[in-house]
Amino acid sequence: QVQLVESGGGLVQPGGSLRLSCAASGSIFSINTMGWFRQAPGKQRELVAIITSGGSTNYGDSAKGRSTVSRDNAKNTVVLQMNSLKPEDTAPYYCYAVLRRTEVSPWNAYWGQGTQVTVSS
C-alpha cells in the first residue's frame, strides 16, 4: 500500500500565500517525481508544479513566478509554496508521485485525495 497525505489547504485571502505539504508512505522503494496538480470545477486537472529526485522542477503557467516546489528525498515529502493567490487559484490540490514499490517494480503514478484551497475575501 502507498499513501500520499496532503496537508495545508484552507481559506486564504486574495494576495495571500499557501503552503501545502505531502508525505508519501507505505511500501516504497524509490520515488522519481513528486508534485502538485489541481482541478477546478468544470476544468481539466492541470499541473501546478513537479520536482524530480534530482531537484529539477517544472511549473504550470499559472504557478510560474509565484510558486516554489521543494522536496525532502529522505522523508518522501514535497512542499508547495504559492504566493500572490487569486480567486482563480481556488481548487482542490492533489499530491502526485511517480514511484516504484520494489527494485523490480514498474514506475507508477499515485495521487493523494486532495486538499481544498479557497481564495476569497
Say if residue 108 is exposed, middle or buried (CB neighbours under 10 Å; 0-12, 13-18, 19+).
exposed
CA dist., res. 109 & res. 27, Å (int): 14
Query: pLDDT, tens digit, for every residue of 51-97?
Result: 999 999 999 999 999 999 999 999 999 999 999 999 999 999 999 99
Residue 89: φ, ψ to 5°: -80, -5
Say if residue 96 is exposed, middle or buried (CB neighbours under 10 Å; 0-12, 13-18, 19+).
buried
| Res 18: pLDDT | 94
Residue 67: φ, ψ to 5°: -135, 155
